Amino acid sequence: MCYTQNRFNALLSACVLSLIATAGWSQSLTWLGVLPNGRYSYAHAVSADGAVVVGVAENAAYYARAFRWTASGGMQDLGTLGGYESGASGVSADGSVVVGRAQNAAYYARAFRWTASGGMQDLGTLGGDRSEAYGVSADGAVVVGWAYNATFYRAFRWTASGGMQDLGTLDDDESWATGVSADGAVVVGYAEDGGLPWRAFRWTASGGMQNLGTLGSFDSEAYGVSADGAVVVGWAYNAAGQPRAFRWAASGGMQDLGTLGDGHSWAFGVSADGSVVVGTAGGVYAFRWTAAGGMEDLNTTYANLLTNGSYLGLATAISPDGRYIVGRGYNTATWREEAFLLDTGFPLRGDVDRNGCVDDADLLQVLFAFGGRGYHNEDLNWDGTIDDADLLEVLFNFGSGC
């Protein structure tokens, strides 16, 4: 790393007046509401800083529509491709790119990629009439999902330069892609395997589609993947025929994450470093899992944020740093199912080492990694490069929690 003292001093001088020391951290739960005169909303993905949430909500005509939510602008209907319905499933790290599915004028679902400047772009198919997008890389350049090839459903990986690429299957006809690593190199999902039920897969260009196995029984499906593609989460049936959330890594294989008492659980999202997993247990208890704490009911952990019988039923995604969790629950204040944004307050902004204090150690960690590329904890703004912006994030929040 090459970083001059003068440059560091200049950054420090520019930020010193903004350094505010605070103790502890705040937590909050935001119900995202619905589209005008709609009756429900579900959140499916969240940007790296928790500022943008995307999902699906009903509109006044009772159609499902893709939405993009911000605190300042509320819930924005992203429209369709000429039909009636749409839904958003993924968002880029900075919140500027949204992907999902939308009906075209012929009422077929088509994978889309949306930006404020370009609107909703139809990503096409693999020769058939329909497709859906489920995941997008951190920079918004790689989109994954499934498309009909006029005979079978196949997992795809799309880029602007290469178009829609068929990722094949394990050993049969059909496959679905549901998630992608931060750099777009690793794709996960599920596929048929030799006439057997679905099996979770992990795909790379060099290794193709890898069968991740099961927990002792039939189906398994993968839905989330860590930033570097090393950790995969989803669900699989165990030997007793119960669906159980799993966390897979090459070194340990598929790990059963347990349940909250009723025998059933499903995992859908994972933090960038693979250490925090979110999902639902029993279909009614949103959970967070860590190696140290096991599976915890978010309704218990954050009971102080829930009022009058409201509850969090499903956690669908988590921000890269593990701070923000989104999903759907029941809001008794409005008597409806609504998308939620849970700010757990941890880690603090700029807390690289996750010890609850933004201090010299965090600054040094960014300095030593300065100039590096890739999505790591030191990349605080999640743009793929460790640079001045990440140093400023530490400096602006220096002293917080200490």
Q: Given this model, what pLDDT does residue 4 score?
A: 40
> Chain-wide mean pLDDT for the chain?
92
Q: What is the reported pLDDT for 315? A: 98
Q: Is the pLDDT of residue 2 over 60?
A: no
Asked whether the predicted pLDDT for residue 257 surpasses 90, the reply is yes
The residue type of 311 is: Y
CB atoms within 10 A of CB 78: 20
Give the pLDDT confidence score for residue 25 in this predicted structure.
56
Cβ atoms of residues 316 and 266 within 8 Å: no
Looking at 39-108, which runs of residues are DSSP E strands?
A: 41-46, 53-58, 64-70, 74-77, 82-91, 98-104
**pLDDT tier at 333 (50, 70, 90 boundaries)?**
very high
pLDDT of residue 3: 39
User: Residues 88, 52: contact at Cβ < 8 Å?
Assistant: no
Task: Please name every residue paired with 54 in a beta bridge, in sequence order, or none if there are none.
Answer: 45, 68
Give the separation between CA 267 and CA 263, rounded to whole angstroms. 14
Higher-pLDDT residue of 130 and 197 is 130
Q: Give residues with Cβ within 8 angstroms of 288, minimum separation 6.
A: 276, 277, 278, 295, 296, 298, 301, 315, 318, 325
Across 40-62, average pLDDT:
98
Q: Please state which of the four CATH numbers 2.40.160.20, 3.40.50.300, 3.40.50.450, 2.120.10.30 is assigned to the domain occupying 26-343.
A: 2.120.10.30
Instruction: Classify 363 as helix, strand or coil.
Output: helix
Per-residue pLDDT, 348: 95
Task: Decide: 41 and 56 in contact? Cβ < 8 Å.
Answer: yes
Length of the chain: 402
Confidence of residue 388 (pLDDT cuts 50, 70, 90): very high
Backbone φ and ψ of 254, nearest 5°? -90, 120
| Whether the predicted pLDDT of 173 surpasses 80 | yes
Q: What pLDDT is stored for residue 79 in this prediction?
A: 98
Residue 204 pLDDT > 50: yes
**What integer pLDDT is reported at residue 8 of this predicted model?**
44
Segment 102-130 mean pLDDT: 97
| CB 93, CB 139: distance < 8 Å | yes
The token duo for 315 is 């956690």
Residue 18 sits at φ, ψ, to 5 deg, of -100, 0
The predicted model gives 38-57 an average pLDDT of 98
Residue 225, SS3? strand
Label residue 286 by pLDDT band (50, 70, 90).
very high
Instruction: Report the pLDDT value the prediction gives residue 193, as an integer from 0 to 100.
Output: 74
Mean pLDDT across the stretch 83-91?
A: 98
Q: If pLDDT is split at 50, 70 and 90, which confidence band does 196 have?
A: low
- Report the range of poorest mean pLDDT among 7-21, 44-58, 193-207: 7-21
Give the mean model confidence (pLDDT) for residues 376-380.
Answer: 93
- Kindly report the number of other CB atoms within 10 A of residue 105's CB atom: 9
